[in-house]
Structure 1
Amino acid sequence: MPSKMQKQKSTFIFLFCFLIQSFFTANSQSFIGVNYGQVADNLPPPEATVKLLKSTSIQKVRLYGADPAIIKALANTGIGIVIGASNGDIPALASDPNFAGQWVGSNVLAYYPASKIIVINVGNEVITSGDQALISQLLPAMQNVQNALNAASLGGKIKVSTVHSMAALSQSDPPSSGAFNPGLSDALKALLKFQSSNGSPFMINPYPFFAYQSDQRPETLAFCLFQPNAGRVDSGNGIKYMNMFDAQLEIGQIYHRVFILSIGFI
């Protein structure tokens, strides 16, 4: 079974992804979502999990893949679903538009609109993987998936994105000093130009647990877990952050400002 820390970490991931999902839009949206992972034992059946979700205020669910049983179980619930194409699918999606069309047909059209699919993530943490071949294939794969959605008249309804690691940053503490790794700038600019054109969300896995691992000051664990603490003042902007989530969300807002400027100069 996943540890308590792993479960908490997973929840943080999804919340952060969606709190900044309006990155390229004028109006921000905030709501509660969860990751629905399947790397565990003794998992309840999808129907039981969906029943639990419906009893809460959870409005979005992120799947790491496109499990048909889960997508079917979420039908007619109104819960937004984020599905994913694996890193292993990227080469075929990039090189073969027909494969992209088949993937969309099998994983989206077979369930939509009863199952409210709202985002397709193409790959996970690709640009920080070090796999140059895969990095070069990411954008063509996203474009082919977008084209397949457009052909099905879903281009404005389902967004195409990818999820990045916080390792895309060369600096993140304090938040006001946040900066991207210069070595990733070309790949990021091309992706952002595509996402800006299609109004798709910019998504990040923040992992407060890793922040704790690299900064084991006595108060860091409480800061990461929303427990009482003295907070931390950002010397650059004077803002006092009371938890790691708020600090990492602020970095997301900085991305917003920086990337809008970057796109303007591409």
Structure 2
Amino acid sequence: MTTMSLQWNKLMLVTTIVSVLLICSFGRGDVGVNYGLNGDNLPSPSEVVGMYQRCGIPYMRIFEPKPDVLDALRGTEIILSLGTRNEDIQNLAQSQEAATAWVSANVQPYANSVKIGWITIGNEAIPGPSAAFIGQAMTNVRNSLASIGLSNIAVTTVVSMEALSVTYPPSAGAFSNEAVNPMRSIVQYFANAASQTPIPLMVNIYPYFAYASDPDHVPLDYAMFHATTPVVDGELKYFSLFDAMVDSFYAALDKIKAGTVPLIVGETGWPSAGNDPKTSKENARTYNQNLVSHIKGNGTPRKPGQLLTAFLFEMFNENKKEAGVEQNFGLFTPDKQPVYPFWDC
């Protein structure tokens, strides 16, 4: 057998293994962590990958390709969600060659040694100037992956609550006028994409921002999974704002006849400082610990049997972000010390 044939067979074996891992773990209530790099004092990627391994964090999400991060992940069991920059979406949509070049540079060199589970086309680009291009960009990237035998990598995008025109109650969930057509094109992509693994939509869910913007009407206990009196929506009872926000997306997808599209929570978390007393280390620890416990055993009232995979935001406090809460979502400080007790590592 030629060297090229051996390399190809090895690549296909790794792809199959990743596919099986995703099928077995998707929707199991697992928790990963976002890894941002907006800091000038952060540990090296190899140190960070070591932290993920010691802490037993199974999933990592990065927002754009970083060769040093991808190199550090080689040979590990960490499953990666790899993002594209928002400014690249239009080019990826308008040129199959550009999509192929992106895959050739950022996926193919790592495919036999890094477990890439998802590629996310942009982050919170709906609504926005790139929104109309996301569906075609997803199609082009998927075509490029399929051409080199990597069709088992799920291609998706990430949306925030801003895509919804009505947030509460969950049954009233609907996409905004600026979001509904891009969402329909994405759903059409999901319908057309033949894949052995589920293709989820990633959604960013932040009860903190809802609570901080309206504490008179959003009780802290409801945001923290501690409510004892439910918010009733028809026949459904909500004891957490997190569930209500997730179900708003499920309801909105139902309204555009896409109720079978599964969700992954691409970001969720609570800042430990920057807006006292709403932010504190204790509030951040409580929210994140309750979130982990909740999703490991519960779906939502609208989808009670469908457990969620979620990515906590985020690994480190990053000093190059906007001052205030944005610099204080980290689980660790840049010197690798925990901001508050959380991981057993």
Interval of TM-score (by shorter of Structure 1 and Structure 2) = 0.7 to 0.9
Q: Distance in 2 between matches of 1:173 and 1:100?
A: 38
2:81–2:117 contact (8 Å) kept in structure 1: yes
Alignment CA distance shift 1:231-1:50 (3 Å): farther
Deviation, structure 1 residue 135:
2.5
Structure 2: distance between partners of 1:66 and 1:197:
26
Q: Which residue of 2 aligns with 1:245?
A: 242
2:53 matches 1:54: yes
The answer for the alignment partner of 1:142 in structure 2 is: 138
The CA deviation string for residues 57-106 of structure 1, in whole angstroms up to 9 with x for no partner, is 32111101111111111222211101111111122212221221111011
Q: Which runs of structure 2 are paired with 1:82-121 in the superposition (5 Å)?
A: 82-121=81-120
Ranges in structure 1 where 5+ consecutive residues have no aligned partner? 1-20
Matches within 5 A, 1:166-181: 166-181=161-176
Following superposition, the deviation at residue 127 of structure 1 comes to 2.2
Unaligned runs of 5+ in 2: 1-21, 261-345
8 Å contact 1:222–1:229 — kept in the other structure? yes
Q: For residues 17-65 of structure 1, give each alpha carbon's deviation from its aligned partner in whole angstroms, at most 9, with x where no partner exists.
A: xxxx99xxxx833211110011134211111111111122321111011
Q: Deviations over 1:194-245 (max 9, x none)?
A: 023324211111222221233212763343344x44454223234131x332
1:62-77 to structure 2, matched below 5 A, reads 62-77=61-76
Counterparts of 1:175-190 in structure 2, within 5 Å, are: 175-190=170-185
Amino acid at match of 2:248: I
AA at the equivalent of 1:126: A
1:13 maps to none
Which residue identity is paired with 2:245? Q
Alpha carbons 1:176, 1:237 under 8 Å: kept: no
Q: CA deviation at 1:120?
A: 0.9
Distance 2:177 2:135 in 1: 19
SS in 1 for 2:127: coil
Q: For residue 166 of structure 1, report the CA deviation from its aligned partner.
A: 0.8
Distance 1:202 1:71, change over 3 A: same
The secondary structure found in structure 2 opposite 1:234 is: strand
Larger Rg: 2
**Pairwise CA distance, 1:161:** 0.8
| Structure 2 counterpart SS, 1:239 | strand
Give percent identity, aligned residues only: 33
1:59/1:206 CA distance change after superposition, 3 Å: same
What secondary structure does 1:29 align onto?
Answer: coil
Contact 1:176 1:251 in 2 (8 A): yes
Q: Secondary structure at the match of 2:27?
A: coil
1:167 to partner: Cα distance: 1.1
Give the whole-Å Cα distance in 1 for the aligned partners of 2:119 and 2:235. Answer: 35
2:327 aligned partner:
none
Alignment-derived partner of residue 151 in structure 1: 147
In the alignment, is residue 200 of structure 1 matched against residue 199 of structure 2?
yes
Q: Which amino acid is the alignment partner of residue 54 of structure 1? A: Q
Q: How far off is 1:178 after superposition?
A: 2.1
Separation of aligned partners in 2, 1:200 and 1:125: 18
Letter in 2 for 1:249: V
RMSD: 2.6
CA contact (8 A) 2:127 2:178 kept: no
The normalised TM-score by structure 1 is: 0.78
Could you say which residue in structure 1 is the equivalent of 2:27?
28
8 Å contact 2:187–2:258 — kept in the other structure? no
Deviates more, 1:114-123 or 1:36-45: 36-45
Query: Aligned partners of 1:231, 1:73: CA distance in 2, in Å?
Result: 47
AA in 1 matched with 2:96:
P
Shift of the alpha carbon at 1:258?
4.3
Do the aligned partners of 2:166 and 2:173 also contact (CA within 8 Å) in 1? yes
